[in-house]
Structure 1
Amino acid sequence: MRVGLDVGGTKTDAVAVTADGEIVARVRRATGWGDDAVIASILASVEALVQEGDFTAADLESVGVGIPGLVEAGTGRVLHAVNLGVESLDIAARAGAELNVPIAVENDVKAAALGAAALRGDGTSMAYLNLGTGVAAGIVADGRIWRGAHGTAGEVGHISVDPGGRLCGCGQRGCVETLCGGGALAKAWGRPGALPVRDIFDAADAGDPLASSLRADLARGAAAAVRILVLSVDVETVVIGGGLTALGDRLRTDIVEALRREADGSAFMRSLRLDERIELLPSGSPAAALGAALVAASDSATESAPVDKEIVTHG
């Protein structure tokens, strides 16, 4: 049995996956704040999965953890997970000592990319574009996450597309994230509400000029991210996930229209058919947790024999 956990700022989504890739149990629990609470959340989620899936701790083969922040390659240590109150935490060592199984740790967006690729199941290259509080992407080619030389492959949120635009948290101006990141949009909206981006869309439908401008920015920024991913790594498909996908068809329609409008004057861009190469991840998909399980399964297999892909026996 392989376990995967998507440790988020407010909740942890966990799945148990059999050797042939079937998800047999899934639980969601609140995530704690700070080093000790994050480890406790991981251990509690694994225990809840054991109970939900009606198997024993002895059946565990590996545990994978997807988590926001910078993950040091090969160490299982996460750095700067600010939404969790974590500056530096050796998850593999601390949780592994309690569970006594191999533990692999991966950035949450990269894990989600691997899980989304496994769920699609067609083996083609793809990018997973996460539109949430921030913006980032993970790239999967030939069944493997492409991490780049220093692990920053897919950080499209911090590519500046408007040098005179809004100031980004990274210090640049006009980054993609300032246009289509939920946090930046909520700040620019500046009005109270539990779901600011949904409020923006609703207000735009009602004719509010600021909301209409911000909604257009979101579509323009997401379209730019899609173009960057296709033009830089030529993936066949861009799967869009993250919290903003709760907007559903309204979001997809806006992005498609922006891609078509911005390609209107270029035969080259039209030939790329970007509007046909995007998909929205279904709401409630376990992609990130599944991807974490696959990362751990791949790492575990590599200890005994090399594997060609990280997407191992799934589907």
Structure 2
Amino acid sequence: MIAPRDARGAGTRAVGLDIGGTKTHGVVLAEDGSILAQVRESTRSGAEGVVDTAERVFEALRRDVGEPLTLPVGVGVPGLVDVGRGMLRHAVNLGVNGDDLPLRDLLADRLGVPVVLENDVNAAALAARALSGADDVVYLSVGTGLAAGLVIDGRLRRGEHGAAGEIGHLPVDPAGAECGCGQTGCLETIASGRALARAWPTPDGPPAADLFAAAAAGDVKAIAVRDRFCWGVASAVRALGLTIDPERIVLGGGVSEVGEPLRVEVVRQLRALGEGSPFLASLGLADRLSMVPLHYPVAAAGAALVASG
């Protein structure tokens, strides 16, 4: 079981980097699975920017730990990942589009250690499984984008093309906004950090925290924006429940830093969706929903687990 706490002085076990569209988060896990060191840096867009950012974070971790980091590094990235070849495609949130990018080898050359590449949400799903103790777990990441990692019978399900769990690109509104994937009205255009920032722009600070605070204070517009956003998240949970039927569904990602108010509102939307459907209500999706512990770097910790085997 991964322990969501600091543990300086314990032996180094694994290193993980979570490269997101906004931030890159690196962790060093101790032998007991607890966090020995962690570093965050803003992610530079594009292939060269991603590699430069990863190097900055890795070097900062090495300075923080105070010893060489010679272990393999697990790296989680958004987009379609060919794990065997170490290739990345269609990571639109990183500014990486189109043809295969040999990111694993680029990072290994720059960091000077072996690198294991994995989709970021898949990596996080492994950490979510360790935290929950369940063998059938769906990890739903509500971050810059929207995607799910699937652990079925204790094993990651990546899919034939690495696209399993790309729930954010499921179209739900033919009259909706254009998605970065090229489709229209995808769930990601409703229930993601980017969508929320468009619907509730703030001059500084996380828009999610500001939105939920304004809604709690009774702001009518904030309540409408919050409810549509949480309906989108609940719709993703419903789709995952109907297709995977997992034991646990774990919410995470940057927007989940809102904490318990997010879970409460998503549960309310799930119960509303089931009001007209005894079948849907019988599935008890709201009762299977939990959240990653607040401020726990689940994707970076999962990337470290990928590297440690």
Under TM normalisation by the shorter chain, which class is it? Answer: 0.7 to 0.9
2:43 partner letter = T
Aligned pair in 2 of structure 1 residues 274, 32: CA closer, same or farther (>3 Å)?
same
The CA distance in 1 between the partners of 2:117 and 2:178, in whole Å, is 32
Partner in structure 2 of residue 306 of structure 1: none
The CA distance in 2 between the partners of 1:2 and 1:148, in whole Å, is 26
- 1:60-80 Cα offsets, whole Å, 9 max, x none, are 231111122322331222234
Shift in Å at residue 240 of structure 1? 0.6
Residue 155 in 1 paired to residue 166 in 2? Answer: yes
Partner in structure 1 of residue 269 of structure 2: 258
Residue 38 in 1 paired to residue 50 in 2? Answer: yes
If the length of structure 1 is used for normalisation, what is the TM-score?
Answer: 0.83
Contact 2:21 2:144 in 1 (8 A): no
Residue 95 in 1 paired to residue 107 in 2? Answer: yes
Q: Percent identity of the aligned residues?
A: 48
If the length of structure 2 is used for normalisation, what is the TM-score?
Answer: 0.84
Contact 1:129 1:136 in 2 (8 A): yes
The CA distance in 2 between the partners of 1:126 and 1:15, in whole Å, is 23
Aligned pair in 2 of structure 1 residues 166, 212: CA closer, same or farther (>3 Å)?
farther
Which runs of no fewer than 5 residues in structure 2 stay unpaired? 1-12
The CA distance in 2 between the partners of 1:185 and 1:4, in whole Å, is 28
Contact 2:145 2:192 in 1 (8 A): yes
The CA distance in 2 between the partners of 1:31 and 1:190, in whole Å, is 21
Shift in Å at residue 189 of structure 1? 4.1
Contact 1:27 1:45 in 2 (8 A): yes
The CA distance in 2 between the partners of 1:61 and 1:172, in whole Å, is 41
Contact 1:240 1:278 in 2 (8 A): yes
Question: How many residues were matched structurally?
Answer: 295
Partner in structure 1 of residue 116 of structure 2: 104
Partner in structure 1 of residue 128 of structure 2: 116
Aligned pair in 2 of structure 1 residues 214, 92: CA closer, same or farther (>3 Å)?
same
The CA distance in 1 between the partners of 2:179 and 2:23, in whole Å, is 26
Contact 1:102 1:296 in 2 (8 A): no
Shift in Å at residue 166 of structure 1? 4.1
Deviates more, 1:72-81 or 1:142-151: 72-81
1:157 partner letter = G
- 1:4-40 Cα offsets, whole Å, 9 max, x none, are 1112234321122345534333223343444334323
1:112 partner letter = A
The CA distance in 2 between the partners of 1:208 and 1:23, in whole Å, is 39
Aligned pair in 2 of structure 1 residues 224, 56: CA closer, same or farther (>3 Å)?
same
Residue 74 in 1 paired to residue 84 in 2? Answer: yes
Aligned pair in 2 of structure 1 residues 169, 36: CA closer, same or farther (>3 Å)?
closer
1:72 partner letter = D
Shift in Å at residue 188 of structure 1? 3.4
2:14 partner letter = R
Which runs of no fewer than 5 residues in structure 1 stay unpaired? 299-315
Residue 178 in 1 paired to residue 189 in 2? Answer: yes
